[in-house]
Structure 1
Amino acid sequence: MAHPAHSPVQLRRAVASSFIGTVIEYYDFLLYATASAVVFNRVFFSDLDPLVGTVASFGTLATGYLARPLGGIIFGHFGDRVGRKKMLMVTMSLMGVASVLIGLLPTYEQIGALAPILLVVLRITQGIAVGGEWGGGVLMSAEHATSRRGLWASFTNAGGPAGMVVSTLVLAAATAISGEEQFLVWGWRIPFLLSAVLLVVGLFVRARVDETPVFREAATAQPSRAPLVEVLRNHPRSLALSVGVGFGSFVAQSTLTTFSISYAVEAGFTRQAVLNALTFSSAVAVAGVIGYSALTDRLGRRPVVLAGAIGTGIWAFLLFPMIDSGSTFLLWTSVVIGQGVIHAALHGPLAALYAELFATRARYTGASLGYQIAGTGAGLGPVTFAAVLSATGSTVLVSLVIAAFCLLSVVCILVLGETSKADLRSAGATAPSRAR
């Protein structure tokens, strides 16, 4: 039943705000991921061996992912206490400022070791910001919706690959404008500096959305304890299983969107050819995330996520041989099918699923914390795989690790059960069913 405070107009605004806001946040966050694969190893770690520099560059990438749970806790606490909208305004501002400062950062040749140190600090700031952004964006859509929650919540997750499309397109344009040589000197800074323009647009859109009616209703009662304590005391099982479900998704995601870039360039493909394939695969992933999530409103979250996890685990063994073939067609096939068709089924429905696991006054904290702890897999994946490849020279072990984490996702989604019938207006989301 629709709650009288729910407004179709506000739902549309909330969905648009969540999508655009996440596009901007992930444009900034994933721009760094792309740059870490093709630029930062030569700009901020120029005194290191190229392969070692790549590992170090991915290491700074990992710090952003490791900071995301902290952002989930901080912004989740205040989002559950004072509201979703206010925190989303802060997270967007924090991300935009950090990205602009990265664009202004001196290189290693200019200020020495201070350059990578400042890079890490700004990356941590980005991680804290995006750690608070995702949960609020999902809840703004999910808590405004009265039906088809999987579809509406998925626009937040669709903003991730959409942000990747924008970031890679802008990087490609910057490369074309500056040229290959000047790109490493100043061209790479352009996409980061453009974050200032995106920030203004995003804040304007977000300001027009009201607080969610679900939160306003729940806010009339004083919470008995801090949201984090509420999650750890009353929802430990949901939190642990949500981390397990998402971890495989994030390890695979970082492989398809970050590690594969560096690997393909090392295999002989031009940077532009790899970025073109990644851009197209991300565009396909936007449609895949939304389409699969809409399907979960009919079939349930569990069967779709289960199929995505199994498919992604199998694809891990095909990805690297296809890249090693040297065929541009197979390169495109490896990332387009992997990211846009298979992985989207695993990742897209997680937005609604996470929102359905926690009570309203702890939902921002619980959903954010589970998702962002799982998100550390995306940060640890590339640096771990780069180190493994450096030590062994074999991609089979990398594929085995990816498949193992996808198996973890399979086990956790089976244990977790079905969540699509949960009522977000109740004191706590309805307990997941064991069977449909």
Structure 2
Amino acid sequence: MSVTAPAAPLTSRRYAWKVTLSSFVGNTLEYYDFLVYGTAAAIVFPAVFFPSENSFVATLSSLGTFAVGFLARPLGGMFFGRRGDKQGRKSTLVLTLAIMGTGTLLIGFLPSYDSIGLLAPALLVVLRLVQGFAVGGEWGGSMIIVLESTNPRHRGFYTSWPNTGGFSAQILITLVFAWVYTLDDAQLQSWGWRVPFWLSAVVLAVGLWMRRSLEETPVFTDAVAGLEKEGRNRSLTVENLEASQAAIRERQERDAAAAAEPASQAPTRGPLASVFLEDWRNLLRIVGLRFAEALPYFLLTVFVLSYGPQHLGLEKESLNTAILIMAVLAFPAHGIFSWISDKIGRRPVYFFGALVVFVMAFPFFGLLNTGSFVLIVLGYVLMLNLGHNAINSIQPAFFAELFPADRRYSGAATGREIASIVAGGLTPFIATALAGEDGSRWQLVALYVMVGALITMLTVWKTPETFRRDLNVVGETVR
């Protein structure tokens, strides 16, 4: 298999930026819906949906529902990935956004535990599953539609920008909750927490408008045309064979042959089945590659928001400001790291990011424990902007390049969302349990991050380089 990008006419820079901007906005709005839940789960939901005399139990229960959303993400990845590979990227992305926006809006109208008892957290879990199902198909589609529509020499750079959607969403959430924090506890728990979820109505309208302007990618349309042509050729071969056989067979033999289905016309294997049967190595690679990306991100943007105020006496506003600064710096960091990956490859940049996360695991908690705002911001910048961003910026291109065109959406989305369960959604829950009721065992949390980063470094070593692969290849497994 050749690993040199084809010398096809390059996509215009103007159109490339149009697709990139559209995916960036859609991804921002999608992740606003998903991440606003994480902030509320750490700050408000323990009192609203899980009232308990033991605040540790209430927080653990609330963060448990945050993890529930990740259980549905692999199902969403498989469902929407298969749909995107068979029916197109564009229509699938419109559907994921519609489901996500509706589910998030409904959370804002849920009654509290005091109003309807156990039914309140039960409905919360259902809607969280809806969120997870939708976002499971969002990431893969929004990245792949950019990957397949831009200059092959710069696809790492272009695909990095939609992946900053999580950070722009984090900025929006931080600003919204900065206003929420000005409310007293009674206002916050009765109606204040609902406002960020109600804003999903705006999110939904803007996102759907943006995605209507998307066009199907040339790689997808070429792949579909190629498969249809191959199918027609097979059909003609079978018909010619049957015609020649009919001339020399007896009538009864000819009737029996007509009743039997030709082997070559048997249903072909779908993209999802092919991913699990032929690309299982790459699915496992993606799981390993995600640890050093997902662990520090959810640790610093969800877990610390409950751990810091409860056990270190840190102000919620200070932590949110630190996250805001980090999120702003994520944009230039993504541009720089992705540009470098287009020059030297995905593997060295990815390994560098994982190494930084490994080295910073213990120092971050040391900086957090000082209580100094400046040092806390420094910890966020080093762990996330220098470590996580190096990984996150090239992840879309790296993951999608591991799969052939006819099952790229299924492979990238399914692999990433399976990894989301063990390396993402469970992180705040596991970290809270490891830290203990009094929060004194933070060393275990740091060790947890180090182990995850080590897994990622070993996986990078076992993963082939992809940055010059031909995206138009159909059917071939990337070894």
Displacement of 1:323 in angstroms is 1.2
- 1:340-351 to 2 correspondence within 5 Å? 340-351=385-396
Give the 3-state SS of the residue equivalent to 1:319 in structure 2. helix
Q: What is the alpha-carbon distance in structure 2 between the residues aligned to residue 398 and residue 237 of structure 1?
A: 29
> Which residue number in structure 1 is paired with residue 218 of structure 2?
213
Give the 3-state SS of the residue equivalent to 1:148 in structure 2. helix
Give the 3-state SS of the residue equivalent to 1:416 in structure 2. coil
Deviations 1:386-413 (A, max 9, x none): 1111268311111111101110100111
Displacement of 1:289 in angstroms is 2.2
- 1:25-64 to 2 correspondence within 5 Å? 25-64=30-69
Give yes or no for contact 2:26–2:211 (8 Å, CA) kept in 1.
yes
Give the 3-state SS of the residue equivalent to 2:436 in structure 1. helix
Q: Find the partner of 1:126 among 109, 131, 134.
A: 131
Q: What is the alpha-carbon distance in structure 2 between the residues aligned to residue 424 and residue 244 of structure 1?
A: 23
Deviations 1:330-365 (A, max 9, x none): 222222322222211122211100110011111101
Q: What is the alpha-carbon distance in structure 1 between the residues aligned to residue 470 and residue 278 of structure 2?
A: 17
> Which residue number in structure 2 is paired with residue 381 of structure 1?
427
> Which residue number in structure 1 is paired with residue 468 of structure 2?
421
Give yes or no for contact 2:403–2:478 (8 Å, CA) kept in 1.
no
Displacement of 1:241 in angstroms is 0.8
Give yes or no for contact 1:28–1:95 (8 Å, CA) kept in 2.
yes
- 1:45-194 to 2 correspondence within 5 Å? 45-146=50-151, 147-176=153-182, 178-194=183-199
1:332 aligns with 2:377: yes
1:398 aligns with 2:432: no
| Runs of 4+ in structure 1 over 6 Å off | none
Give yes or no for contact 1:46–1:53 (8 Å, CA) kept in 2.
yes
Change (3 A) 1:196 1:402: same
Letter in 1 for 2:377: W
Displacement of 1:61 in angstroms is 0.3
Q: What is the alpha-carbon distance in structure 2 between the residues aligned to residue 191 and residue 170 of structure 1?
A: 7
Letter in 2 for 1:265: P
Deviations 1:8-31 (A, max 9, x none): 443222111111111001111111
Q: Find the partner of 1:370 among 415, 432, 438.
A: 415
Give yes or no for contact 2:295–2:424 (8 Å, CA) kept in 1.
yes
Give the 3-state SS of the residue equivalent to 1:273 in structure 2. helix
Give yes or no for contact 1:13–1:208 (8 Å, CA) kept in 2.
no
Change (3 A) 1:336 1:185: farther
1:271 aligns with 2:321: no
Letter in 2 for 1:30: L
Give yes or no for contact 2:84–2:141 (8 Å, CA) kept in 1.
yes
> Which residue number in structure 2 is paired with residue 234 of structure 1?
278
Provide structure 2 residue ranges, at least 5 long, that are not aligned to the other structure: 1-5, 232-267
| Paired residue total | 431
Displacement of 1:378 in angstroms is 1.4
Of structures 1 and 2, the larger Rg is shown by 2
Give yes or no for contact 1:421–1:430 (8 Å, CA) kept in 2.
no
Letter in 2 for 1:398: V
Deviations 1:141-187 (A, max 9, x none): 000012301011112211111111111111212333x4454122211
Change (3 A) 1:269 1:384: same
Normalising by structure 2, report the TM-score.
Answer: 0.87
Q: State the superposition RMSD in angstroms.
A: 1.7
Displacement of 1:428 in angstroms is 4.9
Give yes or no for contact 2:356–2:386 (8 Å, CA) kept in 1.
no
Displacement of 1:48 in angstroms is 4.7
Give yes or no for contact 2:292–2:388 (8 Å, CA) kept in 1.
no
Q: What is the alpha-carbon distance in structure 1 between the residues aligned to residue 336 and residue 135 of structure 2?
A: 24
Change (3 A) 1:191 1:2: farther
> Which residue number in structure 2 is paired with residue 358 of structure 1?
403
Q: What is the alpha-carbon distance in structure 2 between the residues aligned to residue 227 and residue 290 of structure 1?
A: 32
Q: What is the alpha-carbon distance in structure 1 between the residues aligned to residue 176 and residue 56 of structure 2?
A: 26
Q: Find the partner of 1:201 among 197, 206, 219.
A: 206
1:255 aligns with 2:260: no
Q: What is the alpha-carbon distance in structure 2 between the residues aligned to residue 276 and residue 114 of structure 1?
A: 35
Q: What is the alpha-carbon distance in structure 2 between the residues aligned to residue 58 and residue 286 of structure 1?
A: 28
Deviations 1:300-346 (A, max 9, x none): 10000001001101111112121111212222222232222221112
Q: What is the alpha-carbon distance in structure 2 between the residues aligned to residue 272 and residue 112 of structure 1?
A: 31
Give the 3-state SS of the residue equivalent to 2:124 in structure 1. helix
Q: What is the alpha-carbon distance in structure 1 between the residues aligned to residue 362 and residue 52 of structure 2?
A: 34
Q: What is the alpha-carbon distance in structure 2 between the residues aligned to residue 264 and residue 175 of structure 1?
A: 16
Displacement of 1:6 in angstroms is 4.0
Normalising by structure 1, report the TM-score.
Answer: 0.95
